[in-house]
Amino acid sequence: CSQCPLFLGAEGWTCCPQGWRRFQRSCYFLSLDRMNWAKSEQNCTGMGSQLVVINSKAEQEFLFEQIKQSPQRDNFYIGLFKDKDGQWQWVDKTPYNVTAAFWRKGEPSNHHDENCTVIHSPETTLNNWNNIRSDLNFSQICEAAAVIL
């Protein structure tokens, strides 16, 4: 963890890479590079992380605050997609739970080609997920496990 900011928490010192933001036991990187969903996923994987998997309201609230900080972006890809059977699933295989989802009103829409999910940052409520086509170029949020020292 050289050149790694340390945070003292209940479990001890927590380490995230430079430029990443910590919440609980995870580190988050808001990439400003715009690319399609598949390249966004590869971008995160190349940094030893994955597109963010949102497991709780607390995590959604944290990300909601992060995306409001400059520089402003319209959309950030997250790790939720529709598989070939038409079921929503997370990139890490965490079960999709509709009661812990934060879709915008009217979303997810039923357009057959809108198989990926973004956080729509102009939205002013916690319900800011929007399903979109995978070929559109947007920023992305990557998540990695923090190192506990």
pLDDT tens, position by position, 89-112: 999 999 999 888 999 999 999 888
Domain ranges for the chain = 30-140
Q: Which of 146, 144, 140, 118 is nearest to 131 (CA)?
A: 118
Predicted pLDDT at 1: 46
pLDDT at 28 over 90: yes
Tell me the torsion sign for CA atoms 72, 105, 118, 25: positive
4-13 per-position pLDDT tens digit: 555 555 556 7
The average confidence (pLDDT) of the chain is 90
Predicted pLDDT at 33: 93
- The lowest-confidence range among 37-41, 67-71, 94-98, 133-137 is 67-71
Average pLDDT of span 57-61: 97
Q: Which of 48, 111, 42, 106 is nearest to 79 (CA)?
A: 42
Q: What does pTM read for this prediction?
A: 0.90
CATH topology of domain 30-140: Mannose-Binding Protein A; Chain A (3.10.100)
